[in-house]
Amino acid sequence: MDELQNLTSDPDLWNDAQKAQKLLSEKNKLEADINVIDDLEKNRQDLVELCELAELEENQDMIDEIILQMQELKAKGRRGELEALLSGEVDANNAFLEVHSGSGGTEAQDWAEMLLRMYTRWAEAHQYKVEYVEEAEGDVAGIKSATVKIIGHNAYGWLKSESGVHRLVRISPFDSNARRHTSFASVGVYPDIDDEINIEVNESDCRIDTYRASGAGGQHINKTDSAVRITHIPTGIVVQCQNQRSQFQNREAAWKMLRARLYEIELKKREDAAQGQWDNQGDNGWGYQIRSYVLQPYKMVKDLRTEVETSDTKSVLDGDIDLFLEAALADKVAK
State the CATH number of the domain containing residue 293: 3.30.70.1660
- The CA distance from 136 to 115, in Å, is 15
**pLDDT bucket at 305, cuts 50 / 70 / 90:** very high
**What's the mean pLDDT in 57-86?**
90
What is the DSSP code string of 108-144? HHHHHHHHHHHHHHHHHHTT-EEEEEEEEE-SSSSEE
Give the per-residue pLDDT at 257: 87
**pLDDT bucket at 274, cuts 50 / 70 / 90:** very low
Is residue 121 located within the same domain as residue 60? no
**What's the mean pLDDT in 140-161?**
92
Of residues 290, 264, 291, the one with CA closest to residue 279 = 264
Is residue 74 located within the same domain as residue 102? no
Q: Which pTM does this prediction carry?
A: 0.72
Give the per-residue pLDDT at 273: 46
Is residue 69 located within the same domain as residue 114? no
Model pLDDT for residues 155-196, shown as the tens digit of each residue: 999 999 999 999 999 998 887 787 888 999 999 999 888 655
Choose the final residue of a domain: 65, 83, 101: 83
Pairing of strands 289-294, 180-191: unpaired
- Cα 94–chain centre separation: 8
**pLDDT bucket at 314, cuts 50 / 70 / 90:** very high
Is the Cα torsion angle 139, 141, 144, 148 positive or negative in sign? positive
What total of structural domains would you count in the chain? 2
**What's the mean pLDDT in 260-277?**
66
245 and 220 in contact (C-beta within 8 Å)? yes
Flag whether pLDDT at 225 surpasses 90: no
Task: Find the CATH number of the domain harbouring 75.
Answer: 1.20.58.410
Is residue 154 located within the same domain as residue 33? no
**pLDDT bucket at 277, cuts 50 / 70 / 90:** very low
In angstroms, what is the C-alpha Rg of the chain? 23
Three-state DSSP state, 18: helix
Residues 6+ apart with CB under 8 A from 300: 292, 294, 309, 310, 311, 313
Choose the final residue of a domain: 30, 64, 83: 83
- The CA distance from 188 to 279, in Å, is 11
Is residue 183 located within the same domain as residue 77? no
Give the per-residue pLDDT at 214: 64
Is residue 40 located within the same domain as residue 119? no
Choose the final residue of a domain: 58, 83, 108: 83
Number of neighbours of residue 269 by Cβ within 10 angstroms: 14
**What's the mean pLDDT in 21-40?**
87
Is residue 125 located within the same domain as residue 26? no
Is residue 270 located within the same domain as residue 324? yes
Is residue 155 located within the same domain as residue 34? no
Is residue 167 located within the same domain as residue 278? yes
Q: What is the mean pLDDT of the chain?
A: 86
Flag whether pLDDT at 271 surpasses 70: no
Is residue 96 located within the same domain as residue 79? no
Least confident range of 14-18, 68-72, 275-279: 275-279
- For the chain, where are the E strands, in sequence order? 95-101, 129-137, 143-151, 164-171, 180-191, 206-211, 227-232, 237-241, 289-294, 300-303, 309-310
Is residue 150 located within the same domain as residue 289? yes
Q: Which domain holds residue 14?
A: 2-83
